[in-house]
Each structure stands twice: as C-alpha cells, then as structure tokens.
Amino acid sequence: MKALIAGAGRLGTQIAQVLAAARNDVTLVDIDDGRIAELAGHLAVRLVEGDACEPALLEHAGAHTTDLVIAATGNDEDNLVISHLAKRQFAVPRVAARVNDVENTWLFDQRWGVDAAVPAAMPLISLIEEATGATDTVALMRLSKAGVDVIETAITPQSRAAGRTLAEITLPAGSVIATVIREGQPTVPSPQVRLQPGDELLVVSHAATEQEIHAAFQ
C-alpha cells in the first residue's frame, strides 16, 4: 500500500512508523522544515517539506498514485482541506482525517472527502485500523506476511521499567525493541537508553503475546 500522511507531529510520525514497519510505501509531509530535518535519518519513509493544503505540494508528494491519505495535522480546518483535495482532485481511494476538536466531528464526512474520521484520542492501534480500513493487514499491527507482530506498549510512572535501561529489560524470546518514541521523536533503541514515563515502545516479536510484552515493562 502507498500512503501519504500530512502532519509530522507525534501522531503522524507514529502512524508513519507503523505503516512503514508493515512494509508499506509511506510519505510524510509537514510544513515545518525544522521538523522534517529532525526526522531525517530516523524514519524509513519519504519526507516532504511543504503545505499539504496546496494542490501542487500534494501532487509533488505523490497524491495521484496514493492508496491512502491521512490528514493528521493539529488543525481541523487544514485536515478538512487536505481530505477534500485528496478525494476530489486526486481521487485517492481512501482518506482518513484526524479530528482534534470533538465538536467538529460532524464536518468530517463524505462531503469533505473523508472516509474515516479518527479522534486524536483514539488508541494508536485502533486508529491505524480505522484509517486504513484494512484490519486484516494491520489488525493489532500484526505483520502476518512476515510472521511477526509489532506491539505497542507505554511507560507510565508506575511501570517497573521506568528508570531502567533497555539492557536491564528481559524480553520474551524472539522479541526485539524496534524503536523508543520520546516526545514524538523516534530514537534508536540502544542498550544504554534509560526509559522514562511517557515513552512509547514498538516491540517486534514472532512468538510472544501482547500480554507477555506488556508484562516485561509494566
């Protein structure tokens, strides 16, 4: 699947990471050139700097040949404009849009080209399933073709892993940490990384259950 995500904030970046991990062709767009520079070299996706509300930018980013557009900016008006352009001008088969203000939910429908309206507070796994409309492909971030799962877990102040380094964490057999997301920024999971409350981890495993992964950190 070819996906274009507008908005490289925490949510857009996480979605891009998961879709890329599932071997999709992902392009991530953001108007902030500083944010794009921060992500360069950290994500296995194509990064494009510019305003996704501009048709020329969407065309440059590949909207004509994209299977999925996700408007994930922090501005509802921008997300509606991006969705409308994606559906009406570029005929993108599936368009999903983040709803930042619940009072605006009624706007996010087919009139604006939105196939799936996704509340910003929705859990990441559920959000990706809803946005892609393909639970057989991304259900619970399950990479069925590769025979592995990508499982998300978060560190809270109560987590026993809080304050410990990755080297001190014992994972179930056949499991590895793919990335640690801290303040929206993916980091290389070196053994010296010390986990903090608020950290989110993506763990790849071909044998362990979601409960076993959570138990290693919680």
Q: Does domain 147-217 have CATH number 3.40.250.10?
A: no
Of residues 29 and 125, the one with the higher pLDDT is 29
- Tell me which fold the domain 2-139 belongs to: Rossmann fold (3.40.50)
- Output the pLDDT for position 189: 74
Listed range (52-61, 127-136, 198-207) with the worst mean pLDDT: 127-136
Distance CA 46, CA 154 (A): 26
Residue ranges of the domains in the chain?
Answer: 2-139, 147-217
Query: Tokens representing 93?
Result: 């088969």
pLDDT of residue 146: 45
Instruction: Locate 130 and state its tokens.
Output: 């809803």
Nearest to 141 by CA among 93, 189, 203: 203
Q: What is the pTM of this model?
A: 0.65
Matching residue, tokens 């801290």 = 182
Mind listing the pLDDT tens digit for each residue in 164-173?
998 899 988 8
